[in-house]
Amino acid sequence: MASGERPMATEPLIWVLADERAGNRAQCLGVAEALGWPFVVKDIAYDSWAGLPNILRGASFWGVTAATRQTLAPPWPDVVIAAGRRTAPLARAIKKNNQGRSSLMQIMDPGLGGTNDFDLIAVPNHDRIALRPNMFPMTGVPHRITSAALEAAATRWRDRFKDYPNPWIALIVGGSTRRRIFTEAMARELGRTANAMAEDANGSLLITTSRRTGSAANALFEEITVPWLVYRWGDEGENPYLGFLALADVIIATGDSVSMCSEACATPAPVYIYAPEALITEKHARLHQELYEKGYARPLQPPFERWLHPPLNAAPAIAAEIRKRLKRT
């Protein structure tokens, strides 16, 4: 048996390339968990060369730290699941080192160079990419928010929220991105709108903020007069985010994150997206419009109504497509 090979197994050996971007990591893990096969998580840490275009990095381990390179070693996997542009050269290098025997399953466009090396590329509809035979379209992005996870979270958190009046309105706050700033004025507008919604319903707000919310969170909090529970990014203790999603009667999410909007739509509860033009890129606006047209969400504006929608998660469909392409259906 050649170096790097391993005996055939009933279940494939799967590597998940998980970098520091929480959204990318959740997407990969969501698909891996939906497959139902054992998998190994390879934590990826980048160095300064990772910012170079993929067409220059090629099929190589160039762009990651020495410690990361040491973990990417034989026996090579049968399947690689990764997300985002920066992981693509690593996935291609693994396939090259394994003489083409590793199947590459990529989430989102891997960027220029080596597109044909991937056996499956799951691309969001809002990216408007011309589809190739190895591409699979999806609404939003995959994630780990399953019905089982929500049921377990509801059981775990229900008693902890019992002192807050119903209905419970979850307010999931993102923040600034590389291109747009979540300003204090936006935060105040969001706070006033969410507060009015809870006040009209005689309910309460369950608020969680992001690393990207920054100091604008203080301006938002100043607008809240109804009963409220907040978990601010960096607070000690367990993050109740999943409990908020599981138990909320209504969900309000800022529209600056594709992953956050997709996760908010994982429950059947009404989802309202706060998406001021100055905060939202054209790509995000296309996602929101798709969610509105398909009935998963509505723009955050009065009047507020109670309604239901089917839960959204692209992970099971991607997992089924992977099984199909591996001929393991």
Residues 155-160 have a mean pLDDT of 96
How is residue 134 annotated by DSSP? Answer: T
Q: Does any domain span residue 243?
A: yes
For 1-18, b/e burial (b = at least 16 CB within 10 A) is eeeeeeeeeeebbbbbbb
Q: If we measure between CA atoms, which residue out of 127, 111, 59 comes closest to residue 284?
A: 127
Q: Which two tokens stand for residue 169?
A: 């309105």
Q: Clarify whether residues 85 and 184 are in a common domain.
A: no
Provide DSSP, 206-233: EEE--TTTTTHHHHHHTT--S-EEEE-T
Q: What is the pLDDT of residues 10-30, one digit of tens each?
A: 789 999 999 999 899 999 999
Q: Which residue has the tokens 């090979």?
A: 5
Residues 49 and 186 in one domain: no
Percentage above 90 pLDDT, the chain: 91
Q: What percent of the chain has pLDDT over 70?
A: 97
* Confidence check: pLDDT of 67 > 70: yes
Task: Work out the average pLDDT over 56-83.
Answer: 97
Give 125-143 pLDDT, tens digit per residue: 999 999 999 999 999 999 9
User: Do 172 and 265 belong together in one domain?
Assistant: yes
Say yes or no to pLDDT of 1 above 50.
Answer: no
Helix (H) or strand (E) holding 280: none
Q: Are residues 135 and 161 in the same domain?
A: no
pLDDT band at 165; cut points 50, 70, 90: very high
| Residue 9 banded pLDDT, cuts 50, 70, 90 | low
Q: What is the 3-state secondary structure (H, E, C) of 39-94?
A: CEEEECCECHHHHCCHHHHCCCCCCECHHHHHHCCCCCCCEEEEECHHHHHHHHHH
- Segment among 32-36, 170-174, 176-180, 206-210 with least mean pLDDT: 176-180
Q: Are residues 105 and 189 in the same domain?
A: no
Is residue 4 pLDDT above 60, yes or no? no
Q: For residue 74, give the CATH number of its domain.
A: 3.40.50
One domain for residues 163 and 285: yes
Instruction: Give a yes or no: residue 264 inside a domain.
Output: yes
Cβ-based neighbour number of residue 107 at 10 Å:
27
Q: Does residue 5 register a pLDDT over 60?
A: no
**Angle, nearest 10°, between helix axes 315-325 and 22-35?**
60
Question: How far apart are alpha carbons 287 and 274 in whole angstroms?
Answer: 13
pLDDT at 329: 66
Say yes or no: 42 and 65 in one domain: yes
pLDDT score for 93: 98
Residue 253 in this model has a pLDDT that exceeds 70:
yes
Closest CA to 122 of 323, 305, 314, 325: 314
| 221 and 161 belong to one structural domain | yes
Domain carrying residue 222: 147-299
pLDDT of res. 11: 87
Q: Is pLDDT of 8 > 50?
A: no
Q: How far apart are CA 81 and CA 122, in angstroms?
A: 11
- Is 272's pLDDT higher than 80? yes
Residue 304 lies in a domain: no
Do the domain assignments include residue 111?
A: yes
Q: What's the structural domain count of the chain?
A: 2
The verdict on 173 and 114 lying in the same domain is no
Supply the CATH number for residue 278's domain.
3.40.50.2000
